[in-house]
Structure 1
Amino acid sequence: MSNIVDPLVRQIAIRVRAERERRRWTLAQLADASGVSQAMISRIERGESSPTAVVLGKLSAAFRLSVASLLALTEAEAEAEAAREDPGGAAGTGVRRRAEVPEWRDPGTGYRRRQITGPHFPAEVAEIRLPAGAHVPYPAAAFAFVRQIVWVLDGHLTFHDGDTVHELDAGDTVELGEPEERAFANTTDTECRYAVVLTRGTRP
């Protein structure tokens, strides 16, 4: 178990608990809905364990949110916290410096995610770096209420869309349809970098 000091990971703990309490769910109810153990959820909410991308996918599916939406909400809160600590920063100018944008790292695969757009932009754009050999599956419910495009920027992505497998190279895109079980895989020996562009529909 890691010693969590990263403000983004701390905000994940706050966000997961807030989403659970907004639905008036107990830990046991969220565990039943997500398939994540009650003990693990408790550790995440207390900031004692950093969830993997797979665990976040299961929790997001239970909340009927995409992982991108859950992390975007979290990143907005982390940036707001940083702005409070540094009121002289560039917040509100429309400029988001690379060094000021929090990056989330999956402790299981090394997958890294950086939010490109700010919290008030009408679409969500994120940059993902998927290490060689990484495989990140998500349940279908994690894709509910969103329209999403995956755009490969560098490297090669093997994208599982339900029963269909797409082999995508730099410059290729895939527009996602109805929710399906999906997985992002890098079967090469070099990093894959891709962007996720997402718009939300009705939030549950």
Structure 2
Amino acid sequence: MSNIVDPLVGQIAARVRTERERRHWTLAQLADASGVSRAMINRIERGESNPTAVILGRLSAAFRLSVSSLLALAEGTAGEGEQGGDSGVPGNDEDREDAGRVRRLADATQWRDPATGYRRRQITRPHFPAEIAEIRLPAGARVPYPAAAFAFIRQVVWVLDGRLTFHEGDTVHELDAGDTLELGEPTPCVFANTGTTECRYAVILTRSEG
């Protein structure tokens, strides 16, 4: 079974601070761009608060990153699979290449939203052309994202198990296991599980030409 990792809080803290400093933004500038309070951002960067999925969505949108990218970078996966120099993996070059490309379920980590219990596992690493994540949404959970979170990506939602109620602006899509939805123009969206059992779905996205 994969691990639900609270220690990711420290890694998220470092990544948010790094992304802010790369843009030469102050805390106040990031607060203005994201709609997240300066005090909350400060607590996140100090590792004193585990951000909710809603807050991560707002911060990611401000950075023009997807939530998948932000979490994957926070997990430190950006450098995995790069085989320059001695990797420290025993065996021949082919063995080392496979070790860099194969990710075992037993070694996988998940980020858990402290507000809803929503769990997210990154499937692909940051440098893969498409971003794929697996999400487990508990019964009764509801996770909204601002339109800005979808302004620079093309995304498909694929329901694997259970039932997902997806609000795309004023349009509501009821999606059952096996159903897919290609998102349209950027608009506020809500992922909701109105059922009595967990919903498991995947999001597949690429950056748009714009």
Q: Which bracket does the TM-score occupy, shorter chain normalised?
A: 0.7 to 0.9
- The 2-side partners of 1:99 and 1:44 are apart by 28
- The 2-side partners of 1:20 and 1:120 are apart by 20
The structure with the largest alpha-carbon Rg is 2
Distance 1:176 1:59, change over 3 A: same
One of 160, 163, 168 as aligned partner of 2:170: 163
Corresponding residue SS for 2:75: helix
Q: How does 1:1-204 map to 2 (within 5 A)?
A: 6-77=6-77, 80=80, 87-88=88-89, 92-93=97-98, 94-201=101-208
Q: Cα offset for 1:151?
A: 0.1
- The 2-side partners of 1:144 and 1:92 are apart by 35
Distance 1:62 1:87, change over 3 A: same
Q: Cα offset for 1:91?
A: 7.3
- TM-score, scaled to structure 1: 0.87
- TM-score, scaled to structure 2: 0.84
Distance 1:23 1:168, change over 3 A: same
- Code of the residue aligned with 1:35 in structure 2: it is G
- The 2-side partners of 1:25 and 1:167 are apart by 40
Q: Cα offset for 1:6?
A: 3.8
Q: Cα offset for 1:18?
A: 1.2
CA RMSD for the aligned pairs?
2.2
- Code of the residue aligned with 1:28 in structure 2: it is A
Deviations 1:130-180 (A, max 9, x none): 000000000000112111100000000000111110000000000012211
Instruction: Confirm or deny: 8 A CA contact 1:8 1:102 kept in the other structure.
Output: no
Structure 1: segments with no counterpart, 5+ residues: 81-85
- Code of the residue aligned with 1:20 in structure 2: it is R
Structure 2: segments with no counterpart, 5+ residues: 81-86
Deviations 1:84-143 (A, max 9, x none): xx9559974221001212210000000000011233321111100000000000000011
- Code of the residue aligned with 1:130 in structure 2: it is L
Q: Cα offset for 1:40?
A: 0.8
Using the aligned pairs only, state the percent identity. Answer: 75
